[in-house]
Amino acid sequence: MTTHARTPSTSRSPVQQASLLVGVVFLLVGILGFVPGITTDYDTMKFASHESGAHLLGLFQVSVLHNLVHLAFGVAGVAMARTASGACTFLLAGGAVYLVLWMYGLFVGHDSAANFVPLNRADNRLHFVLALGMIALGALFTRARTTAAEG
């Protein structure tokens, strides 16, 4: 008779997996924003200004600050994925932040000094999709956790 030692379960819940995945993607995007070639017109990148001419993948306007925000969001997503409640918070609150960024991008002119992040149309569309996606993941997995806990 063979016995197998059981290792403690370290599996992540779906909401933790989602938070981890979103966090890793943000880290990757933040890093790629500093890679010449992947970021076009890299030599025109500013710290924080609508005048930054650098574009991640030739599409999304970026600056040093913009890339640092992506890195910070990535670190938060990975760190908060340690617990299910932290992961839910990251997805829901992060989605809300991206919803605010989307609205900010709609109302602040592209050439305005207030557009310090900087944001262009492609960024605005992506922020809207990120907001909906993160909020949907957080809500879906929070509901699934609540339903499983009640059952």
- Structural domains of the chain, count: 1
Is 82 inside any structural domain? yes
Both structure tokens of 24? 């890793």
- 3 pLDDT band (50/70/90 cuts)? low
pTM for the full predicted model: 0.85
The answer to whether 42 and 24 have CB atoms below 8 angstroms apart is: no
Please indicate, yes or no, if residue 8 is contained in any of the structural domains.
no
Task: Compute CA 50 distance to the chain's CA centroid, rounded to the nearest angstrom.
Answer: 21
Each residue's pLDDT tens digit, 91-121: 999 999 999 999 999 999 888 888 888 889 9
pLDDT of 7 reads: 43
Residue 6 lies in a domain: no
Give a yes or no: residue 138 inside a domain.
Answer: yes
Strand partners, 36: 39
Question: What per-residue confidence (pLDDT) applies to 80?
Answer: 98
pLDDT at residue 8 tops 50: no
Assigned domain for 53 exists: yes
7 in any annotated domain: no
Q: Which amino acid is at 131?
A: A
**Position 65 in a domain:** yes
In the structure encoding, which two tokens stand for residue 101, read together?
């960024």
> How far is the C-alpha of 118 from the C-alpha of 9, rounded, in Å?
43
Q: Which of 72, 64, 70, 62 is nearest to 118 (CA)?
A: 62
- pLDDT tens sequence across 24-71: 999 999 999 999 999 999 999 999 988 999 999 999 999 999 999 999
Token pair listed for 91: 């997805």
* DSSP H stretches of helix in the chain: 14-32, 64-80, 84-107, 121-150
**How far apart, in whole angstroms, are the C-alpha atoms of residue 132 and residue 62?**
22
How far is C-alpha 94 from the geometric centre of its chain's CA atoms? 7
Q: What is the amino acid identity at position 46?
A: K
- Residue 2 belongs to a domain: no
What range defines the domain where residue 78 resides?
15-145
- According to DSSP, residue 36 is labeled B
